[in-house]
Amino acid sequence: MAMSQAEIERIADYLLQAEADRREVPALAETHAVLEMADAYRVQGVLIGRKESAGDRLVGWKLGLTSRAKQKAMGVFAPVYGALLASNLLSQPEVPYRKLIHPRVEPEIALVLGEDLTGPGITPAQALAAVRWALPALEVIDSRYQSFKFTMPDVVADNASTALALVGTKPVPVEALDLPTLGAVFLKNGQVEATAAGAAVLGDPAVALALLANELGQRGLSLKAGQVILSGALTAATPVEPGDLIEARFASLGSLSLCILDTE
Ligand code: OOG
Ligand code: MG
């Protein structure tokens, strides 16, 4: 049975409050209820709607748990998605650590759409044809749940742990790339944490994009030209602390680095 709107809104408030207080909270199964997936996306929708009413703006979407490395690390074995708002995008390569709860950073391939994309029925080839640019990205995730422990509906309600993201500034036309074989080296303080290629993401980031368009289509939503899509981490995320320097070096896309600062 679908959850009442009042309960959906209570859960959205619980998660927004945790974010505002910079406090990790018990997962929903312990405090509220075991959510069905449709209800988890309703919570996410309310939470994003609250932020938009407060002046924030949708700039794109993100996929999560699209690589085996991430699925194994988090114990959730299916992809999810969340909304990206203007407030999630870093304008400088610096993470204000004291705004966050227990951030982790992960390397991703970002895609910028040149055309709208509306599911259902979108194939990976159609999805790729709608993409104009690819960019390197470092996503800073920050689950609002204790110890980053969650079920699939929990993480969906929490907008897929979205906090901040740094997206590169030199877009590369996607036609010039072969996304599955695009290599990435992920470093923390100069040490290699992990290496991967685009195929880590469901075999091809275009598969992730098609999945997103089709899932949104089921909710009557479309992807729009100009939106930025984070296709999902290629490797497991690494926990960060003030003073850390995180870097991702991508074949063809260039490099990005991010300093973790002890600031708000
Ligand atoms: C969920 C978010 C996953 C990704 O790229 O896999 C994600 C989490 O791991 O907390 O953003
Ligand atoms: Mg991610």
Write down the pLDDT at residue 187.
98
Task: Give the ligand whose atoms come closest to the C-alpha of residue 196.
Answer: 1
Going by alpha carbons, the residue nearest to atom 7 of ligand 1 is 64
Beta strands (DSSP E) in 114-182 are 131-141, 162-167, 172-173
CA distance 171 to 156: 29
Mutation probe of ligand 1 site: the residue of 104, 142, 161, 235 with most atoms within 8 A of C-beta = 161
Q: How confident is the model at residue 2 (pLDDT cuts 50, 70, 90)?
A: confident
Task: Report CA(141)–ligand 1 centroid distance (Å).
Answer: 7
CA distance 15 to 141: 15
Q: What one-character DSSP code corresponds to residue 171?
A: -
207 pLDDT above the threshold of 90: yes
The dihedral region occupied by 252, where left means phi > 0, alpha psi between -120 and 50, and beta the remainder, is left
Write down the pLDDT at residue 1.
76
Please give all residues whose beta carbon lies within 6 A of any atom in ligand 1, as ranges: 62, 64-65, 70, 74, 106, 139, 141, 143, 148, 155, 160-161, 232-233
Task: Report CA(36)–ligand 2 centroid distance (Å).
Answer: 22
Write down the pLDDT at residue 33.
87
Q: What percent of the chain has pLDDT over 70?
A: 100
Per DSSP, the three-state class of 87 is: helix
Task: Give the ligand whose atoms come closest to the C-alpha of residue 70.
Answer: 1
For the residues 152-159, what does the mean pLDDT come to? 98
Q: Give residues with Cβ within 8 angstroms of 29, minimum separation 6.
A: 151, 154
Q: What percent of the chain has pLDDT over 90?
A: 97
Write down the pLDDT at residue 86.
98
Question: Rounded mean pLDDT of the chain?
Answer: 97
Cβ-in-10-Å burial (0-12, 13-18, 19+) of 1 comes to exposed
**Per-residue pLDDT tens over the stretch 74-95:** 999 999 999 999 999 999 999 9
For 14, the enclosing helix (H) or strand (E) is: helix 5-21
How big is the CA angle at 129 (ends 127 and 131), to the nearest 5 degrees? 80
Going by alpha carbons, the residue nearest to atom 8 of ligand 1 is 161
Task: Report CA(2)–ligand 2 centroid distance (Å).
Answer: 28
Task: Report CA(79)–ligand 1 centroid distance (Å).
Answer: 9
Task: Report CA(250)–ligand 2 centroid distance (Å).
Answer: 16
**Per-residue pLDDT tens over the stretch 179-203:** 999 999 999 999 999 999 999 999 9
Task: Give the ligand whose atoms come closest to the C-alpha of residue 67.
Answer: 1
